[in-house]
Structure formats: structure tokens, C-alpha cells
Amino acid sequence: MTSPAPVDRPDLLPWSILDLAPVHRGETTAVALDGTLDLAQRAEALGYRRVWYADHHNIPRIASAATSVLIAHVAAHTSTIRLGAGGIMLPNHAPLTIAEQFGTLATLHPGRIDLGVGRAPGTDQRTLHALRRSTAAAERFPDDVRELLGYLAGRSLVPGVDAVPGAGSRVPITILGSSLFGARLAAQLGLPYAFASHFAPAALHPAVEAYRSGFQPSPACERPYVIAGMNAIAAPTEEEAKMLLRGAARSRARLVFSRPGRRLTEEEADLLLDSPSGSPAWEMLRYTAVGTPQEARQQLSRFAAAAEADEVMIASIAPERAAAVRTIEALAGAARAAQDEGSRGR
């Protein structure tokens, strides 16, 4: 893959979407997956660059566990937008299996498939055991990435074993991370790097610096390419956007503080959020664009510039599906309006 050329104006940065296929309150999984397809079709019509789905397991309100299957379904019902994993948690899988799956996707949908890979398990220890993997699998991540690259390039590192389909497909790989480990590996291998600042913001700037300063060009990527995640909620008024943000913060509080069999009530979540104990939940939302469409767009642009990002991956965290869709549509409209205004001003 030749990395896209950086752009100078943050307003013209490519925007993409991270969709966890959320199962909202009162929905069935079937309704959630229909909503995921609808979101991708809207994103395609609105001009977003790509939509990625995440490899999470045993999380009742996330329906993207069978990530490659979901990508295949969405790809079959869209025509131009890029689709991929953001990401596949490689410790959960054999590299050969992933090369076969994504090689098949790339064969069916040429030029539209991405593969982001991460080192974290994306689940709990019991689920990791149920996947027939161990915690030690994460220690093999650099070697697993190299093995995966070999399969997709048609130069297998395992004698006598090829990915069929997959060999020679050269599906573009991006390293995902939330620490300096992934940044340094992506730089060493000459691959694009995506930082998970939408939920783990602490190391964003040092990780991007480590990646850019250590980057070694490769046939896959000629220059550093950074994708940074940012949450977003856009609404007609700032007050409504902040109300939706509060709902998203409650979800984060439940994620941080709930225990098996004991889910926080809305009142308990609010008490925590309003106390010093709620700081971990708010910290996860540090990089969130929230406000009217114009305000949220400006925040996204400022974030991209500060993070030295070539692309922003937007995670719509509105707690209701209609509000999440509205955010994606409103941001696209605000971006087009800003571009039109900039064109007239030249």
C-alpha cells in the first residue's frame, strides 16, 4: 500500500468511522446489525473514507465479534467505501486464519479491504481461554504480524504453508495501539499506525512522536501515516449534545465500575461521575468532539492538527442509534459547508 499523501488543511483531512455494531437498549442483535449496514451505506453516500469494525468478544452490547463476517456482509451491500477491521486482536487468532479471511474479502471486493491489527486481547481472561488462546499469545505479536505480512505478500515465512486465498493479495495492514509498543513496531515495519485515543488518550502524543521519529519507509508505506481516534457527538444545540455526552459517560462508568452480576443503575453512575472516583470514566472521553455540528467539526480539526494525524477515525458514542446516525450526517454536512466556504474565499 502506498500511504495517502498528507493534506495541509485540517478541514480536508479524510474522516473515517469506527463502528462497534452497538446493541442499543431495547434492540435485538438483528436490529443492531441492520443499523450497522445502514450506517455504512450512509457513510458511503456522505463521502467518508472508510468504516472499521472491532474484534471484541463476550460483550453483550457489541455485535462485531465475527468481524470478517460482518465486513463481508457490509461490503456486499456497498460499492465504494473502504471497510476493514479496527481491529483484529491478533493474539486471539492464528495469522494464517486471518490471512485467509482477509485475502478472501480482498478477492471478493478488490481495493476496498483494510486490516488493522492489535496486540490487546480485547476481552477477559475466561473468554481468551474459550478462544483457545493464552495470555502468552500477546508476547508473540511482532512475530505474528511478520508472519501475517508474509502470507499476504505471497512470501510465507512458514515453509510449505500459504494462505489460499490471501497469498499475494497485499491487504494493507495498519498497526493499532494505545502505547509506545505498537508505535515503535509500526515504525520499524514501515506500516501505518492507528492510535486508540478515543478510549485510551494518555499516550497519544508520545506514541505519535515515537512513530514518526522512528519510521522506516517500506514497500507498504512510503511515509508515516497516523490515524487517531476521537469520539464525537453532534446535535442541533450544545445543550442537547452535552446531555448525550452525559449518557455516554454513564456507559463508560458502567464499563469501569460494574461487576459481574451487578450493573450500575443510572443514578449510581451519575453519583460516581460527579465524584472524584468518576475521573477514570471521564478520562476515557478526554478526546471527544461535542456540540453543534460546526463546533464538533472545529474540535475534530483542532484535534487532528494537535495530534499530527493524517486521518481521524470518528467513534460516535451517542447512547441512542438515531443520535449516532445524526452525528455522522451532521459532521459531514458541516465539513462540506466549511470546504465550500473555503473555496469561495480563495
pLDDT above 80 for 115? yes
> How sure is the predictor about 346, in pLDDT bands with cuts at 50, 70 and 90?
low
Concatenated DSSP letters for 176-243? EESSHHHHHHHHHHT--EEE-TTT--TTHHHHHHHHHHH----SS-SS--EEEEEEEEE-SSHHHHHH
pLDDT above 60 for 13? no
Instruction: Please give the DSSP secondary-structure letter assigned to residue 285.
Output: T
The dihedral formed by the CA atoms of 318, 192, 284 and 63, expressed in degrees to the nearest 10: 50
pLDDT tens digits, residue range 234-251?
999 999 999 999 999 998
Cell reading at 48: 467518508
| Residues 275 and 256 sit within 8 Å (Cβ to Cβ) | no
Tell me which fold the domain 10-234+286-344 belongs to.
TIM Barrel (3.20.20)
User: What is the chain's mean pLDDT, rounded?
Assistant: 91
pLDDT tens digits, residue range 125-153?
788 778 867 777 888 999 999 999 999 99
pLDDT above 50 for 4? no
Q: Kindly give the pairing relationship between strand 50-53 and strand 82-89.
A: parallel
Q: What are the domain boundaries of the chain?
A: 10-234+286-344
Cell reading at 141: 505479536
3-state secondary structure of 327: helix
pLDDT given at position 61: 87
Q: How far is the CA of 34 from the CAs of 23, 27, 30, 65, 125, in angstroms?
A: 11, 11, 6, 15, 30
pLDDT above 80 for 211? yes
For the entire predicted model, the pTM comes to: 0.92
Cell reading at 121: 486481547
pLDDT given at position 345: 67
| Residues 123 and 58 sit within 8 Å (Cβ to Cβ) | yes
Q: Which amino acid is at 329?
A: E
- Is the peptide bond preceding residue 165 cis, with omega within 30 degrees of 0? yes
